[in-house]
């Protein structure tokens, strides 16, 4: 395996090489963070546009929820939701208050 070495006789030149290497590493890290931020923003924009689309189209359920219900054999049209009723007094099982 070939070994690389860098010999710089001037302290100023060596300092500039080190600063340049650090700057290059920071530039690469910054570019990676910018790319990650762009991906997050695109994902948020896609999710927001899907939510707006389903809201405008009048869908009451998310598509993933529908698919999950169909996969286990549930029919959303037959779901029963309890209506809100007035608060009843607490009664134990024997019928006493």
Please list the pLDDT of the chain residue by residue as tens digits (97 residues).
Answer: 888 887 888 999 999 999 999 999 999 999 999 999 999 999 999 999 988 988 888 766 666 666 666 666 666 677 676 566 666 666 666 655 5
- Three-state SS string over 8-65 comes to CCCHHHHHHHHHHHHHHHHHHHHHHHHHHHHHHHHHHHHHHHHHHHHHHHCCCCCHHH
Residue 7's pLDDT is 84
Residue 59's pLDDT is 67
The domain spans of the chain are: 11-74
∠ Cα 41 45 48 (to 5°): 135
Residue 4's pLDDT is 81
């Amino acid at each position: 395996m070939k070994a690389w070495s860098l010999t710089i006789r001037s302290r100023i030149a060596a300092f500039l090489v080190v600063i340049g290497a650090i700057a290059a590493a920071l530039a690469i890290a910054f570019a990676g963070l910018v790319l990650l931020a762009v991906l997050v923003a695109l994902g948020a924009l896609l999710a927001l546009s899907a939510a707006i689309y389903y809201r405008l189209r009048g869908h009451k359920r998310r598509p993933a929820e529908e698919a999950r219900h169909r996969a286990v054999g549930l029919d959303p049209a037959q779901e029963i939701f309890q209506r809100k009723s007035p608060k009843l007094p607490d009664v134990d099982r024997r019928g006493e208050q």
